[in-house]
Structure 1
């Protein structure tokens, strides 16, 4: 088959109007068969058309990423990449800052190929424990210690050596309709008669925050109307509130601005990255820390807006 009947990853990205990282993600998951020609990855036209046909017929949840073994040409692609010294680095989490991190990593001459997974914080940590993620983001609130992330990381990554480094801080709170007509200002307000909630999926950082705050306030989920209504992203939750299908949801401030709902700040959460301290990860750890602390990366983050970068790149916790 000639090059006229195949595409590079850059051409695929333009045709599908997605990022090149998303193309690599599809290849990694085995959804888009690919092969290597020299240093270049290519996808046959017939395989692209087959992928488009499948995509029209159904949707695969993001949390299923990397859960199934790779098959066929996709597995061959990964094996070829490994034989040429290229390492695929899976970055798991949902914030746009992770896309910027992946972009900076890809620009470095380290034979690293960043791929993105969009699982929630707890699911991402479990993926790291089972060897299916290399860089994991977490924003998990622990009501016992009133601390973010470290208590969960220590429990889940038991037996591993790891590093927790701050990525950013951001406000989490309530999405409410314009003017906050139900006067929702506290966690107990979610139990008011006539208030409908939209929840996040189990395993997400937002869901953990909700459950911990409910526990501290002695609120039972069964007493909150809409507690069983789950969405899988901050934007989706804000969208439900914007459409007036719910009166309140919990998420980050940025999504409220994007969707156009009112935001009631409740908690300034710490958003950290977790990486394993292994010999294989030495170059990766050094590169990530260097990127986080660089003026170029922080300038891009400031342009996105809505982030507190005062501790970005600071090591929060480290095992030896």
Structure 2
């Protein structure tokens, strides 16, 4: 039985005054974000379900607390955020993007603990994967349907595959770039990816590339430009496959990572990378195209990646796994992935051996 409740955890900003009292900022941040999107207060009020008078009260109170204006209004241009207001909104988006995987993982653990209190609860499929938009959508759709719930832990690809190898999860998500970097990435996974006992479920092909400011003021044209002294880079976290891919690309160009300003600055999700750049804290980062599009950034394609779920061959025929595969092959989920900018869902749900996915030569290289 899948219970109707879902555990959720959210981040919230607060201002602490000198007297110790707290001022929650969630309402003003939501309103500022809506103003940024709609371009006028009346549209933002409608989007947030607020009266015009109440919205102005929220804004004026926040401006008093910050002692600076948050919006600018004119008859011709409508309403826009001030520089301070824009930085406040992007700081909040960056925090949300950074914390979301951790909070989602913790909420999934809490959900599991709560459901264990009910004797009729069913075992959950355990998915470990790095954060991605298709994975996020699968989690939401699976847990919103009348099927065994899906437990998600956000992990790097290596951590996910290691969990599968040790029996601590049922599906492990990992990505592999097509082309010259395919084999080095796969060899990195080799200790935990067994061609004999594991099978691969194809999720999608996604575009990975460089995020840049829309007008590209630093004139960044390739990954070689990351060494330019005025270019600030933001990286993915240590252990992530994207970070390793960036290192391989720089190595191919004989570029020492120490020459890249910001190479040790890291974020944990594609959206956090995009928000970091959109807020003006960096000039370039690497991630999937969807995040660049959502944050209004320019995108410079670098590589296409295939994303797979690795599963143990003996679990494929279980009812829980079949329900998940049926969902992946459904028109509803495939339509969701197709609308993600930079994703190709044509082979979604295809089950393959490692050899069928990568060929006999690569498979032989993976074996001890």
Q: Structure 1: how far apart are the matches of 2:205 and 2:184?
A: 11
Report how far residue 248 of structure 1 moved: 0.8
For 1:170 and 1:164, the matched residues in 2 are separated by 17
Determine the structure 2 residue equivalent to 1:50. none
What CA distance in whole angstroms lies between the structure 2 residues aligned with 1:295 and 1:60?
A: 27
Match of 2:202 in 1: 166
- With normalisation by structure 2, the TM-score equals 0.61
Q: Which residue in the other structure is 2:256 paired with?
A: 220
The structural deviation recorded for 1:234 is: 0.9
- Find the counterpart in structure 1 of residue 292 from structure 2: 256
Q: What is residue 102 of structure 1 aligned with on the other side?
A: 139
TM-score (norm 1): 0.69
Q: Residues 149-202 of structure 1: CA distance to partner in whole angstroms, max 9, x if unpaired?
A: 654444323497111121111111111112212222222111122211111002
SS in 2 for 1:228: coil
Deviation by residue 1:217-245 (Cα, 9 ceiling, x = unmatched)? 22221111111101111111111111221
- 1:242-284 CA-to-partner distances (Å, cap 9, x unmatched) read 1221111111111111112211111111111111222586334
**CA 170–77 in structure 1, closer or farther in 2 if over 3 Å, else same:** closer
Structure-2 separation of matches of 1:294 and 1:65:
25
Specify every segment of 5 or more residues in structure 1 that has no aligned partner in the other structure, as ranges. 1-7, 19-58
For residues 114 and 127 of structure 1, the distance between their equivalents in structure 2, rounded to whole angstroms, comes to 16
Q: Which runs of 5+ in 2 are unaligned?
A: 12-98, 357-368
Which residue number corresponds to residue 151 of structure 2?
A: 115
SS at match of 1:156: coil
1:89 equivalent in alignment to 2:125: yes
Question: Is the 8 Å Cα contact of residues 178 and 305 (structure 2) preserved in structure 1?
Answer: no
225, 230, 238: which one pairs with 1:202?
A: 238
Aligned with residue 184 of structure 1, among 209, 220, 225: 220
Counterpart contact for 2:164–2:170, Cα < 8 Å: yes
Counterpart position of 1:26: none
Number of residues of Structure 1 aligned to a counterpart in Structure 2: 264
Match of 1:289 among 314, 318, 325: 325
Q: Is the 8 A contact 1:141 1:208 kept in 2?
A: no
- Distance in 2 (CA, whole Å) between partners of 1:109 and 1:319 is 35
The answer on whether the counterparts of 1:91 and 1:102 sit within 8 Å (CA) in structure 2 is no
- State which of 191, 198, 203 in structure 2 corresponds to 1:155: 191
Q: Which has the larger radius of gyration?
A: 2
